[in-house]
């Protein structure tokens, strides 16, 4: 548990003044809890001896009324502060977590599923927030209350009676702690199963159209139900454990209460304590019930906090492989890019995706990249996005290794349209402005024109203000592609990469977009990855990839003269189009 608070030490240091105030309030609240029992005991003794007077009775009643009122004021102040701190910590933890996710390279997202990452920023983060607020409150409040009550029992009533009644309790706590340590593995397994369930739910929601299209609702539901049942079964083990050992404190308390009455009566008979002392003692013992019951919850919360801390810290302690060097160079534009003996393998793959790649991109050129599926085309051009470090060789920009430049500067050179079009649940114009939040209306209209999206606005209910469904579900495949292209173009990047981004548009639309690129992006660099050769026919250079290697390169006419793979595939596509 110390590791949890060590992890959160930065927050305690930042908020130490408020935590000091809360500590004082908790100590006052716990001390005030024992006052009524003491007052009642004294009143009983005064009544039994006949020393009670009207004034003393009035004063006693006044105190019994004032104590809860004053206690309410302190309680209100404490809960206001603790709730405020909880919200503040939750916000700052989420901020740290999301910042870390944005800092990390793509390796992290290959290692962890969406469900796993979401579970850590929801359930695990909540457990850490509880550890710094309500759990800390329970430990301090119940701990101080136990000390105050037991200390008062010893100092004001009877050492012997206290030892007989209370000694059994720490023994039970020790036994339960040992058992809880063994159960920690079960809690960890449950967190993994919960993450898998979350991932399955997300997958089912995101893929609902495909599931319906193939009439696989029943199969998908069965898989989802299986994930839910595994989660329930995992949780059942924890519930069964808590059901068996949770009532242990009730049982221990009952024994302590019986011992207090039995031995307390013996002491009263022998006049070692008064009847008022015995009543006060039993009231103190009754007050102990709350803190002891809370201990069972505290142990469960401690287990959750320890596991959550490990899982949450695992992400925060990750280091990205792709990061700026000390004193990186700045870059705004370039003259040429060289791939020199570039080999790349994804972090969790066994084999290279591209091997010993060499070619040059000059500013203002349009580069076409073609090849069979799985040849490494997307992997080749994504090296310009600095998602990963190359395995061997290097990419040079103006004869300087790409690693020597600021990562953000390199990425700002590029406008990238991926194969899978990620659109957000925002208006059409807001999706476009992601590419350049400072773009004005003129820039937006220009981007829409180049992407040939203007003709679609008439069919959208509110034009540019039309709300796009989640993941672009309200748009057709071609519309999503062209909207993604407009988002990249509004950035007006030095390098525009279309990664198979014209596959969902018809031949006429493709031709229109290519012609617009020639017209509006003169002097800028374009890289087009395509399966339809018509998209790259007019490129300054076409690279043909196969099994991660460049097997042919040149202009369309040069490649046709080679009588190789390009010519064969081009003639097949041409004949099929006739």
CATH of domain 2-316: 1.20.1560.10
Residue boundaries of the structural domains of the chain: 2-316, 327-412+533-578
Mind giving me the DSSP string for 337-355? EEEEEEEE--TT-SS-SEE
Q: Mapped to the 3 state alphabet, what secondary structure does 419-450 carry?
A: CCCCCCCCEHHHHHHCCCCCCCHHHHHHHHHH
> For each of the chain's 578 residues, which pLDDT tens digit applies?
778 888 888 888 999 999 999 999 988 888 888 777 777 767 776 676 666 777 777 777 788 788 888 889 998 999 999 999 989 999 999 999 988 888 888 888 888 887 788 888 888 888 888 888 888 888 888 888 888 888 888 888 888 888 888 777 766 666 666 666 666 677 777 777 877 787 787 777 767 766 666 667 777 778 788 888 888 888 787 777 767 666 666 777 778 778 888 888 888 888 888 888 888 888 877 777 777 767 666 766 777 788 888 888 888 888 888 888 899 999 988 999 999 999 999 887 888 999 999 999 999 999 999 999 889 999 999 899 988 889 999 999 999 999 999 999 999 999 998 887 788 888 888 989 988 999 898 999 999 999 888 888 888 888 888 888 777 777 888 888 889 899 999 999 999 999 888 887 888 888 888 899 888 888 899 999 988 888 899 899 999 999 999 999 999 999 999 989 999 999 888 876 54
User: Any residues with CB less than 8 A from the CB of 183 and at least 6 apart, and which?
Assistant: 238, 241, 303
Contact (Cβ atoms closer than 8 angstroms) between residue 312 and residue 131: no
CA distance to 30, 166, 179, 192, per residue, from 403 (Å): 59, 67, 52, 36
Give the separation between CA 214 and CA 225, rounded to whole angstroms. Answer: 19
C-alpha torsion sign, points 508, 510, 512, 518: negative
CB atoms within 10 A of CB 323: 14
Q: Which CATH superfamily does the domain covering 327-412+533-578 fall into?
A: P-loop containing nucleotide triphosphate hydrolases (3.40.50.300)
């Amino acid at each position: 548990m110390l590791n949890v608070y060590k992890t959160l030490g930065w927050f305690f240091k930042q908020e130490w003044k408020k935590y000091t105030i809360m500590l004082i309030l908790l100590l006052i609240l716990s001390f005030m809890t024992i006052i009524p029992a003491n007052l009642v005991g004294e009143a009983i003794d005064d009544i039994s001896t006949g020393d009670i007077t009207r004034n003393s009775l009035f004063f006693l009643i006044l105190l019994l009324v004032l104590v809860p009122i004053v206690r309410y004021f302190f309680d209100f102040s404490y809960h206001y502060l603790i709730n405020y701190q909880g919200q503040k910590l939750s916000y700052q933890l989420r901020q740290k977590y999301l910042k870390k996710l944005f800092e990390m390279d793509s390796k992290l997202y290959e290692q962890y599923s969406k469900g796993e990452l979401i579970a850590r920023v929801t359930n695990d983060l909540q457990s850490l927030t509880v550890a710094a607020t309500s759990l800390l409150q329970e430990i301090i409040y119940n701990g101080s209350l136990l000390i105050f009550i037991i200390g008062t029992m010893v100092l004001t009533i009877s050492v012997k009676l206290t030892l007989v009644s209370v000694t059994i309790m720490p023994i039970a706590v020790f036994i339960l702690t040992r058992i809880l340590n063994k159960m920690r593995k079960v809690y960890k397994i449950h967190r993994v199963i919960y993450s898998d369930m979350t991932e399955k739910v997300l997958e089912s929601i995101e893929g609902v159209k495909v599931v319906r299209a193939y009439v696989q609702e029943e199969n998908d539901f069965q898989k989802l139900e299986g994930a839910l049942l595994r989660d329930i079964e995992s949780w059942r083990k924890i519930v069964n454990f808590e059901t068996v050992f949770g009532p242990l404190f009730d049982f221990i308390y009952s024994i302590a209460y019986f011992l207090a009455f039995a031995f307390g009566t013996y002491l009263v008979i022998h006049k070692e304590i008064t009847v008022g002392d015995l009543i006060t003692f039993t009231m103190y013992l009754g007050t102990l019930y709350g803190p002891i019951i809370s201990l069972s919850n505290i142990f469960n919360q401690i287990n959750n906090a320890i596991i959550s801390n490990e899982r949450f810290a695992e992400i925060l302690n990750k280091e990205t492989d792709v990061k700026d060097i000390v004193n990186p160079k700045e870059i705004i534009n370039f003259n040429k890019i060289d791939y020199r003996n570039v080999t790349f393998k994804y972090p969790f793959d066994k084999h290279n995706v591209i091997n010993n790649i060499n070619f040059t991109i000059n500013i203002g050129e349009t580069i076409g990249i073609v090849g069979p599926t799985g040849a490494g085309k997307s992997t080749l051009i994504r090296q310009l996005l600095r998602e990963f470090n190359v395995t061997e060789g290097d990419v040079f920009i103006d004869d300087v290794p790409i690693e020597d430049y600021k990562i953000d500067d390199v990425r700002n050179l590029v406008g990238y349209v991926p194969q899978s079009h990620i659109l957000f649940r925002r208006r059409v114009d807001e999706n476009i402005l992601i590419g350049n939040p400072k773009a004005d209306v003129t820039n937006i209209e220009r981007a829409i024109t180049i992407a040939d999206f203007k003709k679609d606005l008439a069919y959208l209910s509110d034009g540019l203000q039309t709300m796009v469904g989640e993941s672009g579900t309200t748009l057709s495949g071609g519309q999503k592609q062209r909207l993604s292209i407009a988002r990249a173009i509004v950035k007006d990047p030095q390098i525009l990469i279309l990664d198979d981004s014209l596959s969902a548009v018809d031949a006429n639309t493709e031709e229109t977009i290519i012609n617009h690129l020639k017209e509006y992006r003169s002097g800028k660099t374009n890289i087009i990855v395509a399966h339809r050769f018509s998209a790259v026919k007019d490129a300054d250079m076409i690279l043909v990839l196969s099994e991660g290697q460049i097997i042919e390169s040149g202009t369309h006419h040069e490649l046709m003269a080679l009588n190789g793979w390009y010519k064969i595939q081009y003639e097949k596509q041409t004949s099929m189009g006739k």
